[in-house]
Each structure stands twice: as C-alpha cells, then as structure tokens.
C-alpha cells in the first residue's frame, strides 16, 4: 500500500511559513560557516597563506559526507512507517545533531577536530533537508510549487545576509557559530512539531537490501533523461554559485590587503547587494513561472547570470582601486541570476520526478548536484587552481573564479535539453 497522499488544491495552512522558517534556519546554520565563518576560523588557526588548502580540505571532506547523507535520508524517509510520520523523525534527528555540531565549529581547538564536527554538521543537516524538501512534494500541489519554490528561494539569500551580519557583529569565533546553530535548531523544531506529516501504514514490498542501498545514490539517466539533465544543470550552476564561498573572504585579503575585520565588513556589504537582488527576483520568478506555466527560461537565464557574475569577480583586480566596487557590481549580477535559479529550480526538479513513491530518494539524488560541487569546488580551488594560478599567473583566485563562471554559463545553457518541462 502506498503512503496516503490525498489530492489538494493548496498546501495545509501554515505550511508555507513553517517550511520557510525551517529552510531559513538550516541555510543560516550551514551557510554562515561556508560563506565566511570557516574561512575566518581557519585563517585564525593556520594563517592567511595556508588557509586555502586547509579550508578546501575541511569543506571538501564535509561535502563528501553530505553527498551520501541526503539521498540516504530521503530513501529511509520514503520507507518509514512510524506513527509520527514519514519525514518527521529524520528531520528531528537531523536538526538536533546539526545544531550541536555547528555550535562546536567555533570552539574546537585543532584542525582535525574542526574537520570532524563539520562532517557531523553536514551529515545531520542533510538528514534534515532531504525529508524537508520531500515534504513539499507531499504537501504542495503542482500549480502551487512555483510559489513555494520562490518563497523558499528567498530563505537562502536572507540566511546569507543574516549570516554575514552575525559574522561581522559577533566578537568571537564561538559566537559566530553558536548564534546560527541556535536559530537553525529552533526553526527546525517548529517545523517538526507543526508538520501534518504523511503516515505510511504498510512497509514497502521489498526489503531494504544492499542493492537498494546503493541504488539510493543512483538513477538511470537513459530511462529518466529529464531527471538526468536537471541533475547536470543544477550541478554546473551550483558549482559556479559556490565558487566564491569562503574564498571571496580570502580573496579580499590576498588581493586587496584587507585584514580580518575589513574582510568581514566587505563581505557584509557584498552580501547585502547580492541578497537584495536575490530576494526580489526569487519571489517574482516563482510566481511568474506558475502564472505562465514555464520553468526553463528562468533557470537558463539564472545560470548564465550566475556564471557572468563570478567571471566579473575574477576580473575585478584589473580595475585597480575600484576593484572592490566591481565586486559589488558582480554580486548584483550574481544575485539576479541566483534569484531566478533558486526561485524556480526546485519546482522544475519536482516536476520531473518519475515516481511518487520514491520522491524523497530522487530529490536526494538531485541534491547530490548541490553537494558534489560543494565537495569538488573547495578542493579544486584550494589545492589546484589558487596555488598553481598564483605561481604561474600571479592571480590564482582570478583563475579559479573565471573557470567556475564558465562552468555556470554552460549549466544554464544546458537547461534547454530538458523536454518534459516548459
């Protein structure tokens, strides 16, 4: 017997608000370290020169664990027969463990300890995020998914902005990690205890075998071509979007001579510009895509603009004293592109899912397109592009940003290959 999923004309009352808060909290907890907190923490531990390689190691290994965690959480939640629901138990466990791990990021004294707690945070946050995203497919009808996707799309930039404010205002690494962790936990628990979760009354016909376990991380792109193209385009665009990450903070220190307080202050200014564009565009794009029943044009243009924004950052040193201003312009371009992408991409991905009975698993596999770039990009940046580019061209950060921007543009253009969605 399949899980109970009655037809709806709209999502349950209050779902949009609590889902937004849960998304915002989770993004705040995990993105605040990614977008500067880890860079500053590592810089304080090992110095500016050694920071890129250490940051790349910590972020890359953490993302490897995230790569495994979310599809597995989705598969397990699809099969869960608990009286408390299919999604709720996994979200609850993920939120609690992630909160503790994220709080520890700012206080552990050694790099190996930082690596361990960051990996735990990545595992737990993805165990929460996978079932949370599946709850959208459970609860929201097709013609409301663009709106919910657009609304959820605003959670990312607002979380980024809040995180930048916390990083700039908090006087210590401990508070820079503790405050986001507490907010992530509080909003996640609110979603858990208000979710009208689906309850599966009968277990799946097939036992959870090793074959099914390894199948958790895979789908056949020949059989499900649209899902394959959606995965690839998401991965390429997210590669470009995540290329700045903590490396923009290090870039302003290495290229423009900013010390840590100045790095964080500029990071806040850049984030405000990006977020203003993302929030406005994300809401408009989500609602507009519902109205005209089209997804691909928004995601295509979004990917191209994300890539262009990152390339402009790469070119900023050519502007001399105006370089920091050029980065702010680039952040505006990137923000518009990210608003288009985040505002519609989730709705497009849900629309191409092939099997209602394995939605969380398939969404988890799609999320590998988020986590795989987050694993590969820091490693490539910290160990290959930045050191080699610096040695050969004197501008390793610019070489890295230019490469990532081209990847994002290619991702945006390949969205046209998806046939089952307009």
Question: Residues 364, 70: contact at Cβ < 8 Å?
Answer: yes
Sequential pLDDT tens for the chain (422 residues):
344 444 556 777 888 889 899 999 999 998 898 878 888 898 888 888 788 888 888 888 887 787 777 667 767 777 777 778 788 888 899 999 999 999 999 899 899 999 999 999 999 998 888 788 777 777 777 667 667 766 776 787 788 889 989 998 998 889 999 999 999 999 999 999 998 877 776 666 566 555 555 555 555 566 667 777 888 888 999 999 988 877 888 899 888 989 888 988 898 899 899 888 888 887 787 677 777 777 788 888 999 999 999 999 999 999 988 999 999 999 999 999 998 887 777 677 777 766 655 555 666 677 777 777 877 888 888 888 888 888 887 788 999 999 999 999 999 998 888 775 66
Note the helical H segments in 242-381.
247-256, 260-292, 296-315, 323-351, 359-380
Residue among 197, 230, 214 at smallest CA distance from 85: 197
Domains delineated in the chain: 15-195+222-417 (1.20.1250.20)
CB-side neighbour CA atoms (13 Å) of 263: 25
* 3-state SS assignment for residue 281: helix
- Three-state SS at 276: helix
The predicted model scores a pTM of 0.69
């Amino acid at each position: 017997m399949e899980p109970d999923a009655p037809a709806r004309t709209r999502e349950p009352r209050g779902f949009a608000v609590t889902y937004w808060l849960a998304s915002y909290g989770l993004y705040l907890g995990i993105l605040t370290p990614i977008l500067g907190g880890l860079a500053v923490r590592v810089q304080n531990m090992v110095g500016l020169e050694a920071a890129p390689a250490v940051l790349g190691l910590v972020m890359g290994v953490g993302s490897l664990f995230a790569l495994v965690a979310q599809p597995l959480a989705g598969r397990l939640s699809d099969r869960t027969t608990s009286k408390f629901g299919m999604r709720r138990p996994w979200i609850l466990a993920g939120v609690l463990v992630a909160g503790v791990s994220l709080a520890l990021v700012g206080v552990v004294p050694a790099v190996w300890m930082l690596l361990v707690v960051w990996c735990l945070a990545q595992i737990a946050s993805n165990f929460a995020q996978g079932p949370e995203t599946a709850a959208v497919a459970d609860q929201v009808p097709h013609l409301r998914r663009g709106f919910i996707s657009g609304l959820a799309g605003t959670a990312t930039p607002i979380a980024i902005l809040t995180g930048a404010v916390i990083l700039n205002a908090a006087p210590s690494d401990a508070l820079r990690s503790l405050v986001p962790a507490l907010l992530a936990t509080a909003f996640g628990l609110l979603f858990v205890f208000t979710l009208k979760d689906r309850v599966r009354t009968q277990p799946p016909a097939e036992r959870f075998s090793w074959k099914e376990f390894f199948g958790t991380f895979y789908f056949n792109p020949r059989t499900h071509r649209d899902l394959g193209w959606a995965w690839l385009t998401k991965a390429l665009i997210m590669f470009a979007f995540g290329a700045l990450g903590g490396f923009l903070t290090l870039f302003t220190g290495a290229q423009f001579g900013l010390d840590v307080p100045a790095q964080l202050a500029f990071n806040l200014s850049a984030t405000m510009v990006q977020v203003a564009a993302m929030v406005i565009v994300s809401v408009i794009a989500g609602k507009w895509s519902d109205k005209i029943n089209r997804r691909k044009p928004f995601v295509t243009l979004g990917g191209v603009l994300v890539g262009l924004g990152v390339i402009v950052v790469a070119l900023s040193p050519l502007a001399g004293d105006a370089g920091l201003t050029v980065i702010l312009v680039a952040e505006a371009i990137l923000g518009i592109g990210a608003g288009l992408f985040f505002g519609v991409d989730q709705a497009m991905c849900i629309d191409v899912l092939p099997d209602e009975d394995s939605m969380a698993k398939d969404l988890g596999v799609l999320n590998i397109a988020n986590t795989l770039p987050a694993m590969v990009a820091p490693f490539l940046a910290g160990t290959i592009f930045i050191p080699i580019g610096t040695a050969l061209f004197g501008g390793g950060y610019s070489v890295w940003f230019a490469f990532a921007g081209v990847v994002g543009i290619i991702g945006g253009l390949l969205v046209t290959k998806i046939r089952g969605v307009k």
